[in-house]
Structure 1
């Protein structure tokens, strides 16, 4: 957070909030200044810092997991923001751990992230998007308040923007699939605080039936549909009941045929390695070709599975990346979850019991 206060006052706030550890970048006069607080559940190593950013490596002790986190408060001057983007990109080029980058970026990614006078300058949006793409980051899409900053003015002079956000690498998103970010109401500040949760309360839900795209490659699927639909025992059922019977048969067939795809791929790889290491006098054997063909087919099914769930239709099967599809699926599921609601008194409530009540 930007402190705008001397170290003594920041330390008093830390003690009042019951944090045990801190790192402080002192302000220049009454402007700027950064403060980072954490408790003993984390081990935080400060790798470097500047007036606008703190670069850290965090170790989650209870999970025994490590990640890179960059906390920032971008400058108001565009040229200085560009310099900050460049410094972050250079630092991230050596990252091998999951990476999270969050704070006040002082820019928006899309025109709809601003309301009020004057349209956002396109060159600024383009520069910020270039930075995000260059660093291979994705937006966590905060829930809660749509805008994270307001000039607090009235009428036509009111301006609101989404300046604060959390960006993450593909590796981070896959490592923490349940993580979400909520922009809480701004109280005592012109910025809203961001609340980042790595996991959500576990709750059971009924699995929704989906017709898998890769089933169409199997002749058995058509036979199962036809046989079940024309089965004499289903003739007295109505349309919905017959469809449910078809769904049940397809799920049973798919589970038995594709349920252990990853295990099957690993076994085939071992078998292929054994064949390739054996002495051969006539080049690639027919058995090797069959194994390679089966592995390719299993990979195709896996990619189609995640591609269908990602709902990105502009990527063809042959061009897709399974990790990317997986991450976008995680993103969409988190976006569709309702984790908090505002009650009649205007207070935000969280937790499954409170939401059900």
Structure 2
């Protein structure tokens, strides 16, 4: 099982949806949790269909801000148990390891409400005693090393969050690769980066899923990077029941129209469904023969983004 958690900063942005489509296609998460969706449930239900998930649950935005959403496939065996404007709680049934708890968390963004976030985290820790994993945008850091640029965050804020994490019995899950999940003004002398997004778990969850892996991904439509949590790394690779997926890139190819027309007219079958199946098979093979490099180029672009964020930050601390 794998989970993607992302502060997308608004699903009304077409680029955010494009980024989500890429993330779903490449990483194939079983569960997707979004924060600051800035939309209502009708929009997330449309997105559920577009992204190919079986179910979704939405906490509508309040005013102009906020909004949470979680999407999942039915084989995840999960159900919503509790929610608020700042979290969504789920129970996940595992046939081998028993039921565990997954929480998507969104900390209050305002500096005046830091203590509210910490106390809410403590409250959530007492809701259930089953193995627990919590992931999301906490809007806090655990140490001064989790911030680069500008003025250092006051020690009382760091210590306050750290105490809340300890009081909640949580262990920070090590994040591989790039360590900063939020940025502002990159490429300027005002640049700043912080590790505001993270995943943590109870000791029981850690013992059950010793090989769990956390990674910070890249996108281009938000000032937060998505988190990718893989519970069982050996199980993350592509499913065998891959469905036909239409690629918009096909439409700009001069051969596409004639190939579809020829296939439709010369399939040798009469039923519409059978014709569609034959066309889908033909287009898939044509894409494999002619568009293999497209995915590679997209992957290369993302790798260049990952390399760029390693060097774009000014070397001196501001």
Query: Do Structure 1 and Structure 2 share a fold, with TM-score over 0.5?
Result: yes
2:176 to 143, 154, 163: 143
Is the CA contact (8 Å cut-off) linking 2:108 and 2:116 kept in structure 1? no
2:79 partner SS: strand
- Cross-structure match for 1:183: 216
Q: Whole-Å Cα distance in 2 between the matches of residues 123 and 13 of structure 1?
A: 40
Is the CA contact (8 Å cut-off) linking 1:152 and 1:190 kept in structure 2? no
Q: Whole-Å Cα distance in 1 between the matches of residues 61 and 99 of structure 2?
A: 29
Q: In the comparison of the two structures, how many residue pairs are matched?
A: 208
Deviations 1:224-255 (A, max 9, x none): xxxxxxxxxxxxxxxxxxxxxxxxxxxxxxxx
Going by fraction, where is helix more abundant, 1 or 2?
1
Is the CA contact (8 Å cut-off) linking 2:105 and 2:135 kept in structure 1? yes
1:139-288 maps to which residues of 2 (within 5 A)?
Answer: 139-201=172-234
CA RMSD of aligned residues (A): 2.3
1:30 to 57, 64, 71: 64
- In the TM superposition, what is the alpha-carbon distance from 1:161 to its structure 2 partner? 0.6
Question: Who wins on radius of gyration, i.e. which is larger?
Answer: 1
Pair 346,146 (structure 1): closer, same or farther in 2 beyond 3 Å: farther
Q: Whole-Å Cα distance in 2 between the matches of residues 200 and 58 of structure 1?
A: 17
1:131 to 159, 164, 169: 164
Is the CA contact (8 Å cut-off) linking 1:145 and 1:185 kept in structure 2? no
2:138 to 78, 101, 105: 105
Deviations 1:276-307 (A, max 9, x none): xxxxxxxxxxxxxxxxxxxxxxxxxxxxxxxx
- Cross-structure match for 1:41: 75
- In the TM superposition, what is the alpha-carbon distance from 1:194 to its structure 2 partner? 0.7
Q: Whole-Å Cα distance in 1 between the matches of residues 195 and 109 of structure 2?
A: 15
Residues 1:88 and 2:121 are matched in the alignment: yes
- In the TM superposition, what is the alpha-carbon distance from 1:64 to its structure 2 partner? 5.6
- Cross-structure match for 1:59: 93
- In the TM superposition, what is the alpha-carbon distance from 1:42 to its structure 2 partner? 2.0
- Cross-structure match for 1:8: 42
Structure 2 residue runs without a partner (length 5+): 1-33, 236-297, 304-318
1:156 partner SS: coil
2:189 partner SS: helix
Q: Whole-Å Cα distance in 2 between the matches of residues 21 and 60 of structure 1?
A: 18
- In the TM superposition, what is the alpha-carbon distance from 1:157 to its structure 2 partner? 1.1
- In the TM superposition, what is the alpha-carbon distance from 1:344 to its structure 2 partner? 10
1:155 partner SS: coil
2:222 partner SS: coil
Q: Whole-Å Cα distance in 1 between the matches of residues 91 and 66 of structure 2?
A: 23
- In the TM superposition, what is the alpha-carbon distance from 1:47 to its structure 2 partner? 2.3
What stretches of structure 1 move > 3 A for 4+ residues in a row? 343-348
- Cross-structure match for 1:119: 152
Structure 1 residue runs without a partner (length 5+): 203-342, 349-357
Q: Whole-Å Cα distance in 1 between the matches of residues 48 and 210 of structure 2?
A: 30
Is the CA contact (8 Å cut-off) linking 2:218 and 2:302 kept in structure 1? no
Q: Whole-Å Cα distance in 2 between the matches of residues 81 and 162 of structure 1?
A: 16
Query: Mean Cα displacement is larger for which, 187-196 or 63-72?
Result: 63-72
Q: Whole-Å Cα distance in 1 between the matches of residues 201 and 97 of structure 2?
A: 19
Q: Whole-Å Cα distance in 1 between the matches of residues 126 and 40 of structure 2?
A: 34
Query: Mean Cα displacement is larger for which, 51-60 or 106-115?
Result: 51-60
